[in-house]
C-alpha cells in the first residue's frame, strides 16, 4: 500500500470506466515481464558483464585453440622435461617435455565440453523427472522421489570413484570413451539435485491459479507442462545450471586429480594438475597455470550464476 511500486495503478474506487482519452497522470510505464526485467537488470551488473566477457573469451579459446598456439599439446621432447617458463614456451614444459601453454589452451576445450555435457545431461534428466514428479504428484512423485533419494544417498566422490575405477579398463585409451565415461558418471550421480529443484518449482507452479485454470479448460498435461509450468520453473534451474557448470568443471578436475577421471591422451586441466602433483616443490609452474585457468573458469561461471540469480529474484528490488 505504501509501496511506491503500486503507484500509478488503479485504486479500488476508480475501476470500470477508464477514460481512454485521459492519460493516466504521468504516463504509466509498460509493465515488464520477469524475463525482460531480469535482462534489463543483468545488463547493468558488473558481475554479469565481467563473467560473460570471460566466458566468451574462454569459448573462443576452446573452439579455436589454433589461434593461440601453434605447438602440439601431445608432442613431447624428453630433453626439455620440466623446463621453466621462457620466451619460447610461456608456461614451460611438463614432465614429458610437452608445451604446458599449448596443453593449457587445448585443455580449455575438454574442460568446458565436459562441463557443458555433464550439466546438460543432469539438467535434462533431472529436470524432466522433476517436472513429471511435480505435475503428477501422488505415487509418481513418491516413486521418483524415492529413486532420487537412493542416488542422493550415494556419496558423490565415492560413487564416482567406484564406477570410474571399475570401468577403467573397458574404455581403454580411447579419448571419446574416457570422456564419455566421466560425463555419464557425473550426471548419473548429480541428477537428483536438479530433479529436486525442478520438482519444487513445478509444485509451486502447479498450485498457481493459471495452471488450475488451464487444466479446468481441458488442456492436455503436455500442454500445461510445456506452456504454463515450464516457463516458471526455468529460472531456478537456469541458476542451478550455470553454477553447476562451474562446479562440474571443478569436479572433473578433482576426479582427474584422484587419477580416476580423465587421463592421457585426453588433455584437461585436471589431468595436468594430477600430473603435476608430485613435482609441486620443484616445478610449481606445472600446477600453477592449469590451476589458475581452472579457478578463473569456475569463478566465471559461478559469478554468472550469482548474477543471474540476483537478477531473477523479484525480492531483491
> Which residues bind to other proteins, rule: CB under 8 A?
1-2, 4, 6-19, 22, 24-29, 146-147, 149-151, 153-155, 157-159, 161-163, 165-167, 169-170, 246, 250-251, 253-254, 257-258, 273, 280-281, 284, 287, 291, 294-295, 298-299, 302-303, 306, 315
CB of 165 to other proteins, least distance (A): 5
Q: Within a 10 A sphere around the Cβ of 145, how many other Cβ atoms?
A: 18
DSSP string, 221-237: HHHIIIIIIHHHHHHHH
Name which of 44 and 216 has its Cβ closer to other proteins: 44
Q: What is the DSSP letter of 99?
A: B
**Quick one: cell of 122?**
543432469
CB of 86 to other proteins, least distance (A): 23
Query: CB-based contacts of 173: which residues, under 8 Å, 6+ apart?
Result: 264, 265
The phi, psi pair for 99, rounded to 5°, reads -70, 115
Name which of 2 and 66 has its Cβ closer to other proteins: 2
Name which of 48 and 69 has its Cβ closer to other proteins: 48
CB of 79 to other proteins, least distance (A): 28
CB of 287 to other proteins, least distance (A): 7
Q: Which residues of 198-233 are buried (b: 16+ CB within 10 A; e: fewer)?
A: bbebbbebbeeeebeebbeeebeeeebbeebbbebb
CB of 5 to other proteins, least distance (A): 8
11: left (phi over 0), alpha (psi -120 to 50) or beta: beta
CB of 228 to other proteins, least distance (A): 26
Name which of 209 and 281 has its Cβ closer to other proteins: 281
| Bridge partners (DSSP) listed for residue 263 | none
Name residue, grid cell 513429471: 132
| CA dihedral over 271, 277, 278, 281, signed as positive or negative | positive
Name which of 153 and 218 has its Cβ closer to other proteins: 153
Name which of 224 and 235 has its Cβ closer to other proteins: 235
Amino acid at each position: 500500500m505504501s509501496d511506491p511500486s503500486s503507484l500509478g495503478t488503479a485504486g479500488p474506487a476508480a475501476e470500470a470506466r477508464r477514460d481512454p482519452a485521459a492519460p493516466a497522470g504521468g504516463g504509466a510505464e509498460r509493465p515488464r515481464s520477469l524475463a525482460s526485467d531480469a535482462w534489463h537488470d543483468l545488463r547493468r551488473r558488473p558481475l554479469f558483464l565481467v563473467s560473460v566477457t570471460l566466458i566468451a573469451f574462454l569459448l573462443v579459446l576452446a573452439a579455436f585453440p589454433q589461434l593461440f598456439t601453434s605447438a602440439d599439446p601431445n608432442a613431447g621432447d624428453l630433453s626439455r622435461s620440466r623446463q621453466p617458463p621462457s620466451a619460447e614456451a610461456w608456461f614451460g614444459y611438463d614432465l614429458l617435455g610437452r608445451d604446458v601453454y599449448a596443453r593449457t589452451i587445448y585443455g580449455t576445450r575438454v574442460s568446458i565440453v565436459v562441463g557443458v555435457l555433464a550439466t546438460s545431461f543432469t539438467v535434462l534428466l533431472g529436470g524432466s523427472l522433476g517436472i513429471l514428479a511435480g505435475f503428477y504428484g501422488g505415487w509418481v512423485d513418491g516413486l521418483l522421489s524415492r529413486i532420487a533419494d537412493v542416488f542422493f544417498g550415494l556419496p558423490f566422490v565415492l560413487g564416482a570413484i567406484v564406477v570410474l575405477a571399475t570401468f577403467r579398463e573397458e574404455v581403454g585409451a580411447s579419448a571419446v570413451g574416457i570422456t564419455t565415461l566421466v560425463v555419464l558418471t557425473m550426471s548419473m550421480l548429480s541428477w537428483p539435485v536438479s530433479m529436486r529443484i525442478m520438482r519444487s518449482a513445478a509444485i509451486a507452479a502447479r498450485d498457481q491459479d493459471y495452471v488450475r485454470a488451464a487444466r479446468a479448460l481441458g488442456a492436455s498435461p503436455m500442454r500445461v507442462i510445456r506452456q504454463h509450468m515450464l516457463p516458471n520453473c526455468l529460472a531456478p534451474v537456469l541458476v542451478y545450471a550455470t553454477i553447476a557448470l562451474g562446479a562440474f568443471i571443478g569436479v572433473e578436475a578433482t576426479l582427474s586429480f584422484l587419477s580416476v577421471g580423465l587421463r592421457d591422451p585426453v588433455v584437461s586441466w585436471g589431468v595436468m594438475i594430477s600430473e603435476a602433483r608430485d613435482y609441486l616443490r620443484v616445478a610449481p609452474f606445472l600446477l600453477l597455470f592449469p590451476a589458475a585457468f581452472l579457478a578463473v573458469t569456475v569463478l566465471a561461471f559461478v559469478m554468472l550464476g550469482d548474477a543471474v540469480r540476483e537478477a531473477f529474484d523479484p525480492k531483491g528490488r
